[in-house]
């Protein structure tokens, strides 16, 4: 299968030792040896509770922060081949940055408040020196239409603070899509938005994925949102992926206790429905998963459904 990204044993540690000369190094293993790949045109959800390492993963994959170790290969459409992020020359780094974009949680923080919408969306074209000035402006107008900010003339001269949260998020989507990327990493792109606006942004992203053949790594702590957006879901706990499967399979047949706990914690919009209570002891779980010095193998339970364990029987706690 052709993939847009292949991640092998990605590790990202933070040194949080107090004091410059401290003897004992304290390391936070924010991402602790995760592996996954995303086929072209498909989207993978990365879910898990706060602090489990989702954003750290995203930042390492985008080269915003250096990874500690592991292999990341991405599909470079300009060379039509998989390339290892460690061995890119300067041109290839530029190609990587063109073809891999990121959308952040807070559209306000990620947009320069002193720039107009036009300049914000133009920036990537300017940096990569794509097209003539006239072509660039045309491209900005087109992309504003694509993300539903019409008529574009109304938005071009405005500043981010003059837009609503939903409109700002449309601007960040426009900015990331203007480069025609094949892979977009989205970190909670709708969690700051009201429910009603959330759906139109999610629908927009789904339409764009289909029309432009974009793949997403879609980060969220809300499994219901991941279900709406993704073909497959990877569940992360304490820096590790504990289960990965096709979306409906994961939801109807979760195997890992943490996945079960996560599913059972999502409120259901139906007063007649009583959620199954699934309690687990997080410390115990932590011990099983994190204190394994070797990474647990991912066991295939069929239907491309993988669980991190030596033996599925170990998980029946």
Partner 1 sequence: MSKDILVVDNLNMHYETLEGKVMAVNNVTFSVKEGESFGLVGESGCGKSSVASTLLQLQSDNAVISSGSIKLDEKELVGMTESELRKVRWNDISIVFQGAMNAWNPVIKIGEQIREAIREHYPSNSKKENTEKISELFKIVGLEDSIMDRYPHELSGGMKQRAVIALALSCDPKIVIADEPTTALDVVIQDQILKEIKKVQELLGLSLIYISHDIAVIAEMTDNMAVMYAGSIVEKGPTASIFSNPRHAYTRLLLESTPSVVGEKKKLRALDGEPPSLINGLDACAFSPRCPDPSDDCKNGNLEMKLIEIEDGHWADQCCVNCG
Ligand X SMILES: Nc1ncnc2c1ncn2[C@@H]1O[C@H](COP(=O)(O)OP(=O)(O)OP(=O)(O)O)[C@@H](O)[C@H]1O
Q: Kindly give, in sequence order, each residue whose CB lies less than 8 Å from that of residue 57, ignoring residues fewer than 6 positions away.
A: 10, 12, 31, 34, 46, 219, 236
Residue 53 binds: one of partner 1, Mg ion, ligand X, none (C-beta under 5 to 8 A by kind): ligand X
Q: What is the contact mask toward ligand X in residues 206 to 225, using x (rule: CB under 6 A)?
A: ---------------x----
DSSP string, 215-272: EEEEEES-HHHHHHH-SEEEEEETTEEEEEEEHHHHHHS--SHHHHHHHHTS--S-TT
Nearer to ligand X, 52 or 125 (CB): 52
Per CB under 6 A, the list member of 8, 11, 13, 14 interacting with ligand X is 14
Nearer to ligand X, 63 or 212 (CB): 63
Q: Kindly give, in sequence order, each residue whose CB lies less than 8 Å from that of residue 116, ignoring residues fewer than 6 positions away.
A: 156, 157, 158, 159
Residue 227 binds: one of Mg ion, partner 1, ligand X, none (C-beta under 5 to 8 A by kind): partner 1
Nearer to ligand X, 239 or 254 (CB): 239
State yes or no: residue 53 binds ligand X (CB under 6 A). Answer: yes
Q: Which residues pair with 81 in a beta bridge?
A: 76
State yes or no: residue 190 binds Mg ion (CB under 5 A). Answer: no
Residue 238 binds: one of partner 1, ligand X, Mg ion, none (C-beta under 5 to 8 A by kind): none
State yes or no: residue 107 binds ligand X (CB under 6 A). Answer: no
Nearer to partner 1, 141 or 263 (CB): 263
CA 201 to chain CA mean position, Å: 15
Using CB under 8 A as the criterion, which residues of the chain lie in contact with partner 1 when the complex forms?
49-50, 164, 166, 194-200, 202-203, 221-225, 227-228, 248, 251, 261-273, 275
Nearest approach, Cβ of 50 to Mg ion (angstroms)?
7
Separation CA 253–CA 233 (nearest Å): 13
Q: Token pair for residue 78?
A: 């300009």
Separation CA 123–CA 178 (nearest Å): 10
Residue 30 binds: one of Mg ion, ligand X, partner 1, none (C-beta under 5 to 8 A by kind): ligand X
Site for ligand X in 28-47 (CB under 6 A): 28, 30
State yes or no: residue 56 binds ligand X (CB under 6 A). Answer: yes
State yes or no: residue 228 binds ligand X (CB under 6 A). Answer: no
Estimate the share of the chain in helix, then strand, then coil, as percent rounded to the nearest 5: 35, 25, 40
Per CB under 5 A, the list member of 43, 55, 76, 169 interacting with Mg ion is 55
If you ran DSSP here, which 8-state letter would residue 177 be given? Answer: H
Helices (H), the chain: 54-61, 90-99, 117-127, 133-146, 152-155, 165-177, 195-212, 223-229, 247-252, 257-264, 282-290
User: Which residues bind to ligand X, rule: CB under 6 A?
Assistant: 14, 16, 28, 30, 48, 50-56, 221
């Amino acid at each position: 299968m052709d993939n847009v990204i292949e991640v092998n044993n990605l590790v990202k540690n933070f040194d949080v030792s107090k004091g410059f000369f401290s003897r004992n190094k304290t390391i936070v293993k924010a991402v602790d040896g995760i592996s996954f790949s995303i086929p072209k045109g498909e989207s993978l959800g990365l879910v898990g509770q706060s602090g489990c390492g989702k954003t750290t993963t995203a930042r390492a994959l985008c080269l915003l922060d250096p990874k500690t170790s592991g292999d990341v290969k991405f599909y470079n459409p300009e060379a039509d081949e998989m390339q290892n992020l460690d061995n890119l020359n300067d041109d290839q780094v530029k190609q990587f940055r063109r073809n891999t974009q990121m959308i952040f949680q807070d559209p306000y923080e990620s947009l320069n408040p002193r720039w107009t919408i036009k300049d914000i969306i133009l920036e990537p074209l300017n940096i990569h020196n794509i097209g003539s000035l006239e072509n660039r402006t045309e491209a900005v107008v087109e992309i504003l239409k694509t993300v539903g900010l019409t008529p574009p003339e109304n938005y071009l001269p405005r500043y981010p603070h003059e837009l609503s949260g939903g409109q700002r998020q449309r601007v960040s989507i426009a900015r990331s899509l203007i480069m025609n990327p094949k892979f977009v990493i989205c970190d909670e792109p709708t969690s700051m938005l009201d429910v009603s606006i959330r759906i139109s942004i999610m629908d927009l992203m789904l339409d764009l994925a289909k029309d432009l053949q974009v793949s997403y790594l879609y980060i969220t702590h809300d499994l219901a949102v991941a279900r709406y957006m993704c073909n497959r879901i990877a569940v992360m706990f304490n820096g590790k992926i504990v289960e990965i499967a096709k979306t409906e399979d994961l939801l109807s047949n979760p195997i890992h206790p943490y996945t079960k706990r996560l599913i059972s914690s999502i409120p259901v919009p139906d007063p007649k429905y009583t959620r199954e209570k699934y309690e687990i002891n997080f410390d115990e779980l932590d011990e099983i998963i994190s204190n394994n010095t070797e990474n647990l193998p991912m066991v295939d339970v069929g239907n491309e459904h993988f669980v991190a364990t030596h033996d599925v029987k170990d998980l029946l706690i």
